[in-house]
Amino acid sequence: MTINREWAMPNKNTFSIPPIERLVKKYLTPTSIDPFANESKIADVTNDIVEEYNADYHMDALDFFKTFGDNSVSTVLFDLPYSPRQISEVYKKVGKSVNMETTQSSFWTALKREVARVLRPGGYAITCAWNSGGIGSSLGMTIVEILMVPHGGWHNDTIVTVERKDNQIF
């Protein structure tokens, strides 16, 4: 496992931050998906609940994942809203209600299960967050690489965890 610390300015378009873009391209394979694409088109199939973004689909991420079969995707880019506040801002922007279900850890757990379900054995999940938790070993994932991108000042670092799916859990 390598840990790389290259300073970069924060950007809501995470995959356009140079060290993160380089890391993603290193592991990106055909049949890649991005359920929280924002303005990014780096994946083969993109989704964002906000319709103003030029994504292929505009669905809730859980519904988007359910359109894929088991073991059907080679790479999942998983740059979800990092905090309950960010989830709340996005949901309110599209007129969806924000409640305990959408702001508790069970929200992330359901999404992580879907990542593990759709990902092929040998495929990669690339998770961006404020921690290196990723999808997790309990879902058959093994950490391959971690990139920490400090943004300076009081900005939170972005931690990118690359995991490979080794086991068939589902």
Helix (H, G, I), strand (E, B) or coil at 96: coil
- Find where tokens 């009081």 sit: 154
pTM: 0.85
Give the separation between CA 45 and CA 30, rounded to whole angstroms. Answer: 10
pLDDT in tens, 84-142: 555 556 555 655 666 656 555 667 789 999 999 999 999 999 999 988 999 999 999 99
Domains of the chain: 3-165 (3.40.50.150)
What share of the chain in percent tops pLDDT 70?
A: 76
Range with lowest mean pLDDT among 8-12, 46-50, 68-72, 133-137 = 8-12
Please say whether the dihedral angle defined by the alpha carbons of residues 165, 147, 36 and 18, taken in this order, is positive or negative: negative
Lowest mean pLDDT among 7-11, 30-34, 65-69: 7-11
Query: pLDDT-derived band of residue 47, with 50, 70 and 90 as boundaries?
Result: very high
Q: What gap in Å lies between CA 148 and CA 39, rounded to an integer?
A: 22
Dist CA 6 CA 23 (whole Å): 12
- Give the C-alpha separation, 17 to 32, whole Å: 19
154: left (phi over 0), alpha (psi -120 to 50) or beta: alpha
Residue 164 clears pLDDT 60, i.e. is over it: yes
For 9-26, the pLDDT digits (tens) are: 666 788 989 999 999 999
Structure tokens at 41: 């088109």
DSSP H helical ranges for the chain: 18-27, 61-65, 84-93, 100-103, 105-118
